[in-house]
């Protein structure tokens, strides 16, 4: 292997970035280079090569206007990024890499020989288009050059400050241009509300989830209060190597989606505390379990009871068991806190009927009680606010 390529791949593997690759038409050697250097499992989540037009159509969910174009590479990068999010879950830095090429093939091409790449993270995109001098290289030579461009895109997304020799002619180098774009927090949330991405993570600097299990407390957090924090602390005691994470759904089947400024207001509560928050498009737990695999969800007993109501599953017990079993297959379980019932009563997990088929994924949070009402807190805050 070229020493420059090997050094770059080693540097990529040394970063925490996890990548999903979606590439077509060329750049095949890049995958081999990534896999040939020890540590590939710390970088590569998945790689897919939709080579036929039909395969690319299915991968993108639409027919590309042009197979080898910057727009198609950008679409591929976004699809790869969303897939990476689903595979890794929140709190893990991921990148989606798209690459599409038109290079030497069995039948001579009338158009330009070209390659377009795009890399996408939560905060930024990188794009580049390469036009090759036609007739200068054979298939293997053009695949080498496009593979180098793809590897450079992965390095950029991983934050590796190295520049690989792409082995371009002077005229090719003059035609190659990189462009980058950064997304503000508001832009990231707008992408979520447009359903371009499934979730946005607010991760405190320096926090690592390596070797830890996410403990996720969903809520509206209007406001965040001691009841939420106490329940999270109690739930984390049930989990080995817990990583506490709060989840706010921007969408609600019965209400309009939260506006960006309201999401930011609620998110600031967690930023001020240095806590991790993930904002999702998931109003139902079936969707939460898909987006947030291998997690323990922290819920109140009232929420647990709703999970067992057939009316939420087309009035079918079989559907209910199937969906809850799917959550188990996604590596998810539930920690359930009790709740007050009037002046003297208190309801716990053991007081409700849990379907025996899924009883193993529900565990009670013992010795926790904190009767706080978000509604009452909001009223107090409104009454305490200055008038006029």
Two tokens at 347?
Answer: 């309801």
Look up the CATH superfamily of 196-384: HUPs (3.40.50.620)
Two tokens at 259?
Answer: 């506006």
Name the 3-class secondary structure at 114.
strand
pLDDT at 159: 97
Q: How far is CA 294 from CA 166, 291, 311, 324, in A?
A: 40, 10, 27, 14
Handedness of CA 276, 279, 282, 283 (dihedral sign): positive
Counting every residue written for the chain, the total comes to 388
| Cα-to-chain-centroid distance, residue 156 | 19
Name the 3-class secondary structure at 62.
coil
Handedness of CA 343, 346, 351, 354 (dihedral sign): positive
Cis peptide before 154 (omega within 30 of 0): no
CA 63/CA 56 separation, integer angstroms? 8
DSSP string, 222-267: TT--HHHHHHHHHHHTTSSSEEEEEEEES-BTTBPPPPHHHHHHHH
CATH topology of domain 3-182: Maf protein (3.90.950)
H helix or E strand, kind and range, residue 181: strand 177-182
Edge-first strand order for the sheet with 276-280 is 199-202, 276-280, 242-249, 213-218, 295-300, 333-337, 362-364
| Average pLDDT, consecutive stretches of 10 residues, N- to C-terminus, the chain (388 residues) | 96 97 97 97 96 93 93 98 94 96 86 96 97 95 98 98 96 95 97 96 87 95 94 96 96 87 97 96 93 95 94 95 97 94 85 96 89 54 53
CA 183/CA 176 separation, integer angstroms? 24
Long-range contacts, stretch 344-347, CB < 8 angstroms, 24+ apart? 347/301, 347/302
Q: How far is CA 380 from CA 107, 228, 263, 272, 284, in A?
A: 75, 18, 21, 21, 30
- Rounded to 10°, the helix 3-13/29-36 angle is 70
Domain ranges of the chain: 3-182, 196-384
CA 380/CA 362 separation, integer angstroms? 35
Residue 143: exposure state from Cβ atoms within 10 A (0-12, 13-18, ≥19) = buried
pTM surpassing 0.95? no
């Amino acid at each position: 292997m070229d020493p420059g390529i090997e050094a770059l791949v080693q540097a990529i593997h040394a970063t925490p970035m996890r990548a999903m690759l979606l590439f077509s038409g060329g750049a095949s050697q890049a995958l081999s280079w990534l896999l040939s250097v020890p540590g590939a499992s710390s970088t590569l989540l998945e790689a897919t090569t939709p080579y036929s037009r039909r395969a690319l159509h299915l991968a993108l969910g639409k027919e590309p206007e042009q197979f080898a174009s910057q727009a198609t590479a950008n679409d591929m990068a976004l699809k790869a990024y969303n897939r990476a999010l689903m595979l890794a879950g929140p709190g893990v830095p991921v990148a989606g890499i798209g690459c599409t090429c038109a290079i030497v093939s069995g039948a001579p091409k009338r158009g330009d020989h070209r390659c377009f790449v795009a890399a996408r993270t939560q905060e930024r995109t990188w794009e580049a288009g390469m036009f090759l001098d036609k007739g200068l290289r054979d298939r293997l030579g053009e695949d080498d050059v496009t593979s180098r461009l793809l590897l450079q895109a992965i390095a950029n997304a991983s934050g590796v400050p190295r520049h690989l020799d792409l082995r371009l002619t002077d005229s090719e180098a003059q035609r190659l241009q990189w462009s980058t774009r950064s997304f503000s927090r508001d832009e990231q949330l707008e992408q979520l509300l447009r359903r371009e991405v499934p979730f946005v993570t607010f991760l405190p600097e320096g926090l690592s989830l390596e070797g830890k299990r996410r403990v996720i407390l969903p809520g509206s957090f209007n406001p965040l209060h001691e009841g939420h924090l106490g329940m999270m602390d109690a739930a984390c005691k049930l989990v080995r190597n817990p990583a506490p994470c709060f989840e706010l759904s921007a969408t609600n089947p019965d209400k309009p989606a939260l506006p960006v400024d309201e999401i930011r207001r609620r998110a600031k509560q967690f930023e001020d505390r240095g806590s991790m928050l993930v904002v999702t498009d998931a109003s139902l737990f079936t969707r939460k379990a898909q987006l947030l695999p291998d997690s323990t969800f922290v819920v109140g007993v009232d929420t647990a009871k709703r999970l067992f109501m057939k009316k939420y599953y087309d009035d079918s017990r079989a559907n209910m068991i199937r969906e809850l079993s799917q959550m188990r297959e996604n590596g998810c379980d539930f920690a359930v806190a009790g709740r007050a019932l009037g002046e003297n009563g208190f309801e716990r997990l053991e007081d409700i009927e849990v379907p025996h088929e899924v009883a193993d994924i529900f565990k009670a949070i013992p010795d926790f009680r904190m009767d706080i009402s978000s509604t009452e807190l909001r009223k107090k805050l409104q009454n305490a606010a200055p008038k006029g």
